[in-house]
Amino acid sequence: MSIYLKLVKALIASVEPSKQEKKYNRIFYMVMGFIAVFGIMLPMAFFVGVIIYSLTSELLKVGSGQNAVELFLQLVSVFSFVFGLNVIFNVFYFSGDVENLLPLPLKPYQIIGSKFTAALISESIMEFIIIIAVFAGYIIASGLPFYAWIIAVFGMFTLPVVPLAYCAVICMLIILMTSFIKNKDTVNKITGFLTFAVIIGIAYFVSQTGGFDTEHFVSALSDPSNALISTMNMIFPQIHFLVSSMVNNTVINLLYYIGINGASIAAFMLIAQAVYFRTAASVNGGTGAKKRSVKKDLDSLRFHRPTVSYLKKEFRILFRTPAYFMNCVLINLIWPVFLYLLYVLQGQTNFLDSFIYGIHSGNEEMVLLFVLGVSAVSVLVTAANSIASSAITREGKHFAFMKYIPLPYMTQLNIKALISIIVSGTGMIIYVVAASVYLNIGLKLMLLCCLVSLLSVMFASYFGIFMDSVNPKLVWDNELNALRGNYNIFFNMALAILLEGATCAGAYFAFRYTDIGSIMIIIVLLILLMLLTTISYLLCCYKATENIDKLAV
């Protein structure tokens, strides 16, 4: 047990952000942490709690009080599974510590058990907050006694176990099945695409169930024949037992819950014991160097401008490194799937249909909402893909390269921002054009939306670079750890969302509560976005370059 605990401690320490030594950085991080916790995490948790409270209050009247809480917990488990797949693949097989752990006299279950626990703790903090908020809404609405809170706290820490156990089993079986592929990167990319396929599969499944009629949400939830709920109950049966143990105060339900969790852990531990050493060795086997004639290699060398060459280097590393490709590039393809899910789940309320109709009929408010939506999504996507906010962090051990080459820091930062603008901007422009064609909004509005999107992406890109320059996480043992446990990415997202949210909210309220027309509001929005982009650019010019210059490595 002591080895297991020491391993867990060491593994968690390897993904923790470095401690802030400079007073300025400590204050900056405290302020950012305060904004993130009180400005985003707690309001989000409160919002979820209120939804559960309202739904449970309604459902109690028809005798199905626990259905809402169960469905939400099942959805949280689905998210945990989807986002856990990539993490578990990397933690089990592709992290730098695997090569150090394999030669030690450790048993497979000790390695896998500690890696699983470390991943569970470091990946589930936001999930813990959401789970306890769901329970809080349910317990308050149902008026359950004190013991329900104890079960809720127990559930908060243990609910992510089953979805992550599913990830662990799937991960080991896939590596076992692909063990004939010797190239580690190919396997890593296959697993990433598999994650993507699973997300598409879930979206397809949800679309087939017909979703919910939001006007009759309560009756849909209390309907035992709902395909979505019954399927979820089969996949995550432990949730029903946990919630039942709170309602009925029965030990037997709690024992079932513990039993299912225990069985899921035992299942992946048994598989680990049987296949882990074999599969880990096959993944870490490496490949031999390819041989080609030197003349061909020399002919391929061409003089380019240093900036072009640096840009090519950045692109190659971003697209060839599986962890960056999955988390920074592929994510740009995933978010429209969630938008599609929203469209499918609207049921008969047809909010989106009325929105589309509003745009077609030239409703100024709907047109303005569409433009503001384009801007908000552009900022959110650029911040979430973290291409900019991890641009310096991704240099890692070879950050010194940025400093000793004869290329000004600002030139290098401009290229890094350009990568983010190209990747995020291209995706956004394609989606904006596709949405514009689908909504038939006309060429002028489409071009305007493209401009708004591009400016929003530029603002978020330069802002992300500046945020990363404050204290880049340069010590990491594998590329995924450059992105995991990286406060810069989270804080950048929080601040960018707040700035963009304030801009969009200001624009919308100005339209609603003043006589200013939508055209004028959009012009002001464009000026504001230009201003934000210019400020972010100047922050990079003066502050980020100074930060890089001061950074001792």
Partner 1 sequence: MIKLENVTKTYNKSVRAVDDISFSVKGGEIVGFIGPNGSGKTTTMKMITGIIKADVGKITVNGFNVRRDPIKAKESIGYIADNPDMFLRLKGNEFLDLIGDIYHVPTKKRREKIEEFASRFELTDALSSSMMNYSHGMRQKIMIVAALMHNPPVWILDEPMVGLDPKSAFELKQMMREHAKAGNSVFFSTHVLEVAEKLCDKVIIIKKGKLLFDGTLEALEAKSKSESLEEIFLELTEK
- Closer to partner 1 by CB, 24 or 401: give it: 401
- Closer to partner 1 by CB, 218 or 328: give it: 328
Instruction: Compute the CA torsion angle 475, 481, 483, 485 (nearest 10 deg).
Output: -90
Least separation in angstroms between CB 311 and partner 1: 10
How many Cα atoms sit within 13 Å of 305 on the Cβ side? 6
Q: DSSP character for 321?
A: S
Cβ atoms of residues 368 and 522 within 8 Å: yes
- Closer to partner 1 by CB, 337 or 403: give it: 403
- Closer to partner 1 by CB, 126 or 551: give it: 551
Helix pair 125-142, 238-248: axis angle to 10 deg? 40
- Closer to partner 1 by CB, 396 or 425: give it: 396
Least separation in angstroms between CB 185 and partner 1: 8
- Closer to partner 1 by CB, 251 or 301: give it: 301
Least separation in angstroms between CB 297 and partner 1: 4
- Closer to partner 1 by CB, 58 or 185: give it: 185
What angle is formed at CA 392 by the lines to CA 390 and CA 394, rounded to 5 degrees? 65
Least separation in angstroms between CB 553 and partner 1: 6
Q: How far apart are the first and last CA of the chain?
A: 37
Helix pair 184-209, 67-89: axis angle to 10 deg? 160
Cβ atoms of residues 237 and 166 within 8 Å: no
DSSP 60-81: HHTT-TTHHHHHHHHHHHHHHH
- Closer to partner 1 by CB, 13 or 301: give it: 301
Least separation in angstroms between CB 320 and partner 1: 4
- Residue type, position 49, single letter: G
Least separation in angstroms between CB 329 and partner 1: 14
Least separation in angstroms between CB 385 and partner 1: 19
Cβ atoms of residues 240 and 233 within 8 Å: yes
- Closer to partner 1 by CB, 2 or 300: give it: 300
CA-nearest of 254, 303, 264 to 84 is 264
- Closer to partner 1 by CB, 60 or 407: give it: 407
Contacts for 412 with CB less than 8 Å, ≥ 6 apart: 310, 402
Cβ atoms of residues 36 and 42 within 8 Å: no
| Integer Cα distance of 455 and 483 in angstroms | 25
Least separation in angstroms between CB 292 and partner 1: 4
| Integer Cα distance of 113 and 127 in angstroms | 20
| Integer Cα distance of 303 and 9 in angstroms | 49
Structure tokens at 74: 């099942």
Structure tokens at 137: 């809404």
- Closer to partner 1 by CB, 180 or 404: give it: 404
Least separation in angstroms between CB 19 and partner 1: 12
Least separation in angstroms between CB 10 and partner 1: 22
Least separation in angstroms between CB 29 and partner 1: 18
| Integer Cα distance of 243 and 69 in angstroms | 8
| Integer Cα distance of 380 and 460 in angstroms | 8
CA-nearest of 111, 221, 112 to 165 is 112
Least separation in angstroms between CB 471 and partner 1: 15
Structure tokens at 356: 């589309």
Cβ atoms of residues 392 and 482 within 8 Å: no
- Closer to partner 1 by CB, 90 or 142: give it: 90
- Closer to partner 1 by CB, 182 or 216: give it: 182
Least separation in angstroms between CB 546 and partner 1: 11
Cβ atoms of residues 258 and 241 within 8 Å: no
- Torsion region of 151: left, alpha or beta (phi above 0 gives left; psi -120 to 50 gives alpha): alpha
Contacts for 507 with CB less than 8 Å, ≥ 6 apart: 368, 372, 521, 524, 525, 528
Cβ atoms of residues 135 and 152 within 8 Å: yes
Point out which residues bind partner 1 (CB under 8 A). Answer: 21, 185, 286-292, 294, 296-298, 300-306, 308-310, 312-313, 316-317, 320-321, 397-398, 400-401, 403-408, 549-550, 552-553
| Chain centre to alpha carbon of residue 374 | 20
- Closer to partner 1 by CB, 357 or 401: give it: 401
Least separation in angstroms between CB 276 and partner 1: 23
